[in-house]
A and B are shown apart, each in its own frame.
Chain A
Amino acid sequence: MTEILNKLLDKNSLIFGFLLIAIIVYLSEVVAKKLGKGKVPGSALAILAGLVLAYFGGVHTNGEKGLSDIPLFSGLGVFGGAMFRDFTIVATAMGASYQVMKKAGRIGLISLLVGVVLFFVTGVAVAWVWGYRDAVSLCTLGAGSCSYIVGPVTGAALGASSEVIALSISAGVVKAIAVTVFTPIAAKYIGLNDAKSAMAYGGIMGTSSGVAAGLAATDPKLVPYGAVTATFYTGLGCLLCPSLFYIVVIKIIEIFS
């Protein structure tokens, strides 16, 4: 019986991966509703759960690929691999529209640039203070401070170590939670109260899940306006971090050393 089941799961590891993630998401949603009162997005919790599971997987196998190093869970490595990851991120561009972006126009574009630069520079500066000196790690951590997608995409493109990529994902997850929790608190102090300001806010903060959840807790009417600019943030980050920003970081390191 166990033998049949093991053989079945081994042959269909990717499908088993789908089931596992569905279970993780369901449990995270339940916990998010009960404990966080909707203040912490279920998706952010699920990502944290994934990182925790990866930790135990790493402790168990001493491998480098977290939970997916355990043969039973190898499907997670395929499902969460570069191919599916990039494919699904590209698909999210479909949610953005040229027409709505035209309305956001200058506000959206400039706030996006300001946002990506602000988070990247702060992330790189903190990583530098922490002791990182190589351009690849610095850029990956700076990108991780943009979002938990820009970080690993940049890390993968530049060939960063799995450790730094995991750190950049954690940083992005922390950011998404911080934006979710602090947006409704900060909203009235920073003048976040209409469509225009929401578009600028989405551009500055980026992380779509955090912005969408944070704005929903502030004023549900603002959600689509924040989300429309935030949708572009990941694309812009993926475009700039491993290219232009990477070259700039290399040049700055050359000056300082």
Chain B
Amino acid sequence: MIIYGVGILAFSFLMGQFIGESLGHWLGINANVGGVGFAMLILLTIKEWFLKKGWLDSAFEQGVDFWSKMYIPVVIAMSASQNVKLAVSSGFLAIIVGVLPVFLGFVLFPFLFKKEVI
């Protein structure tokens, strides 16, 4: 049943957000701390557990898969609702922040990889 997949996803999401909110409260930041990350870990853990139990069927996976494929459309909708007009005034910053670390990554990668640091 597709709705079971969606249900497990919703459960993981709410649990993760709860942990994130609680952690933020506990750290005194008054913000959600890593709720999305925790939710992802919970979903992965549940998925592994279901896999072992043999409860993972294709309909179940479709319930989650649909939403995972919607994330780029959602991000597009999100960019369309951002305050870009204000951001444009410092547009060059976005380009430097986006490109500079990529080049640093290219420079560092062979050193890290060949020297077996990673």
Task: List residues of A whose CB falls within 8 A of some B CB.
Answer: 17-18, 21-22, 24-25, 43, 46-55, 57-59, 64-68, 73, 76-77, 79-81, 84-96, 98, 106-107, 110-111, 114-115, 118-119, 122-123, 126-127, 130, 141, 144-145, 148-149, 152-153, 156-159, 161-167, 169-175, 177-179, 182, 186, 189-192, 197, 200-201, 203-205, 209, 235-236, 238-240, 242-243, 246-247
Contacts and interface: CB of A to CB of B under 8 A. Distances in A.
Main secondary structure of the interface of B (DSSP, over half): helix
B60 to A, nearest CB: 10
A55 B16 CA distance: 33
Contacts of A175: 98-99, 101-102
A118 B38 CA distance: 22
A126 B93 contact: yes
Interface residues of B, number: 75
5 contacts: A88-B70, A88-B71, A93-B41, A145-B98, A239-B34
Interface string B52-67: 0000000001001111
Contacts of A86: 13, 17, 35-36, 39
Nearest to B83: A162
A52 B104 CA distance: 28
B36 A238 contact: yes
In the complex, which of the residues A80, A93, A178, A203 has the most CB atoms of chain B within 10 Å of its own CB atom? Answer: A93
B109 A190 contact: yes
Contacts, number: 311
B86 A162 contact: yes
A61 to B, nearest CB: 10
B82 A174 contact: no
A47 B108 CA distance: 29
Nearest to B117: A110
